[in-house]
Structure 1
Amino acid sequence: MSGYTVAIVGGTGTLGFPVSNEFLTSFRSSFPTVRVLVRDTASEKAQELAAKGAELHQLDEANLSQALDKAFAGVDAIVNTLPSKASETVKHGLIDAVAKSTAKVYFLSEFGIDHRLSDSDGYENDEWVAKKELAAETRQKVKDKKVVAVYTGPFLQIAFSGVMGFDIENNTFTTYGSPSRRVSFTSLPDIGKAVAQLAILAIDPATSAKVPDELRIASNTLSIENIRDVVARVKSIEKGKIVTEDLAAKKEELKKAPNAPGAILAIIRVLIGEDKLDFSDNANELINPGESLWKWKTVEEQLRGL
């Protein structure tokens, strides 16, 4: 069977599962072989992916090198969707395995806030520092293949669960700084589709050079005021209350405890207030020109349950 082989590391996680699903469904004709590395091959999600045709591989930390070499044998693309809490052994073992693999493209485990722009002046979170260091190490060691970081902004399916100051139930929207600042959201399935299409472009020698090492995508970009208006329209209610808190004061507060529980969410909201999560400058047209391959999911569609 013609086509490419992809290996997805952490394929049953919050991001990994929808990414795996898109390779197995929307992009199956291009990727007839989809290998999914998981800790528990018997889990419900792993078995659901297997039923769709995924090859399951156990991410065995005790025999990590052998497990990765087997899963990566003959692959064309590797996608790392492991969470930041993955062990240092696995994170660094992956770099070595990717370096000696046949893959033409490797996607770093980024997929979120573009922390390159988070010049946080004394309150940068350790998680983002570690991501930058890991990316630098990967690019230093992986020389003969394309290494790509995709930044997506907040995940659309999570952003409206109450973690970002959007209290949908009480119709109240809290922001640090101006509510006219725009923020980009990306749907989890859209991330899967985008990565699959980027992999196709990166594997093909005729288009590989078009894929940058770092890029941003966005399903939908709205201001806090726009979001308030969308909620009112979806729920057929009056426009909700916007509560504006002091941005400078929040930054000073974060400097005292940048790694406290929940601090990273506060930092993300500060970045919105600083106009650093507007991904209007993105790679959407490279990946999905004129939405000819699929329609990016909007905030309104998410809130309507579509």
Structure 2
Amino acid sequence: MSSSTSTKATVAVLGGTGTLGEDIATVLLTEFRESFPTVRVFTRDPSSSKAQAFAKKGADVVALDIESLENALAGIDVVVNVLPTSLSEEVRGKVNETVIKSGAKVYFLSEFGLDHRIADFTGYEHPEWAGKKRLAAETRALAQGKTKVIAVYSSVFLEFVVSSFLGPLLGFDLAKNVFTTYGPATQKFATTGKSDIGRAVARLAVLALDPSTSASVSDEVRIAGAITSYEDVRDITARVRGVPKGEIKVEDLAALEQSLREQKGKGGLLEYIRLAIGKGWADLSENADELVNPGQTLWKWKTVEDEIRIGA
């Protein structure tokens, strides 16, 4: 896919060699290079093989140093933050503040997961999401409308659903053909491929930078590469791999919720995600897919079937 737009801007990816950052940086350096002739990739280790591969593609690879970040962001129009939440909230807050001070026009917060605005974990919210909410509010207050601050919610990474490691932890054990859900196996949820997240970010940046379309981009955007369910994944797996439809195990959703309540925010993040799926909070059927990719004319969203076929 080639980006056809008159927009010419500079973009920085903070954490550009990480789990999601690598995919976003790759999309910017290839499919959207016309719109973003300058791509600056920030990473802890510029000598790593991933960083060097980006340099060969034409990226400016920069060592991530919080103290000198403002100077390193000089001249950057768009900043995409995909730094890990393992960093302290203090450090992440300093990064946000620095990005705003740098004068960037568009800033994507470190989100790209569950739309935690609609997930009602009152009294037992996971610290990661509570922290993200605080940081987002602080960052928008600092921006005062001068920088467009955007949160993108894309739900579960598609790659995680079929992963031999993370898949079973989320209840998708494709190898054993067993699918374990909390609540109805027909409950819909959203999943989005990492490269598609990168494409959506690029498109949102282009739209936000263009005065004629900037108003169409809200501060909080939901995208969904595919809407599926545990039952759907089970059926697709059987069809693609030519095996019998696998077993569906239904666990007690109320018991999971009670367990997390009792742990008061100390439960595992994957357990929260599974609860959110069971409650319907991960169903992003109402989304901005048509805004970023009208009629799939710019690219085809990767589906669960596409991803399963890769490993079939």
Alpha-carbon shift at residue 121 of structure 1 (Å): 3.3
Q: Which one of 242, 248, 263 corresponds to residue 236 of structure 1?
A: 242
Q: Secondary structure at the match of 1:115?
A: coil
1:220 aligns with 2:222: no
Alpha-carbon shift at residue 95 of structure 1 (Å): 2.1
Unaligned residue ranges in structure 1 (runs of 5+) = none
Q: Which one of 169, 187, 199 corresponds to residue 205 of structure 2?
A: 199
Alpha-carbon shift at residue 28 of structure 1 (Å): 0.3
Alpha-carbon shift at residue 39 of structure 1 (Å): 1.0
Rounded to whole Å, the distance in 2 between the matches of 1:260 and 1:171 is 31
Alpha-carbon shift at residue 158 of structure 1 (Å): 1.5
Q: Deviations over 1:107-150 (max 9, x none)?
A: 00000111111111333111111111111111111111110000
Rounded to whole Å, the distance in 2 between the matches of 1:151 and 1:71 is 27
Contact 1:108 1:147 in 2 (8 A): yes
- TM-score normalized by structure 1? 0.95
Q: Secondary structure at the match of 2:86?
A: coil
Q: Which one of 178, 196, 210 corresponds to residue 216 of structure 2?
A: 210
1:136 aligns with 2:142: no
Q: Which amino acid aligns with 2:253?
A: L
Q: Deviations over 1:227-267 (max 9, x none)?
A: 11001011101111111111111111112225446x21111
Contact 1:10 1:81 in 2 (8 A): yes
Return structure 1 stretches of 4+ with deviation > 6 angstroms.
none
Contact 2:126 2:266 in 1 (8 A): no
Q: Deviations over 1:187-214 (max 9, x none)?
A: 0000011100100000111111100000
Q: Which amino acid aligns with 1:172?
A: V
Alpha-carbon shift at residue 60 of structure 1 (Å): 1.7
Contact 1:95 1:142 in 2 (8 A): no
What root-mean-square deviation, in Å, do the aligned CA atoms of Structure 1 and Structure 2 show?
1.5
Alpha-carbon shift at residue 101 of structure 1 (Å): 2.1
In the TM superposition, what are the counterparts of 1:22-33 in structure 2 within 5 Å?
A: 22-33=27-38
Alpha-carbon shift at residue 181 of structure 1 (Å): 0.3
In the TM superposition, what are the counterparts of 1:65-214 in structure 2 within 5 Å?
A: 67-143=68-144, 144-161=146-163, 162-214=168-220
Q: Secondary structure at the match of 2:32?
A: coil
Identical pairs, percent: 51
- The aligned length equals 301
Unaligned residue ranges in structure 2 (runs of 5+) = 1-6
Alpha-carbon shift at residue 276 of structure 1 (Å): 1.1
Contact 1:106 1:145 in 2 (8 A): yes
Q: Secondary structure at the match of 1:271?
A: helix
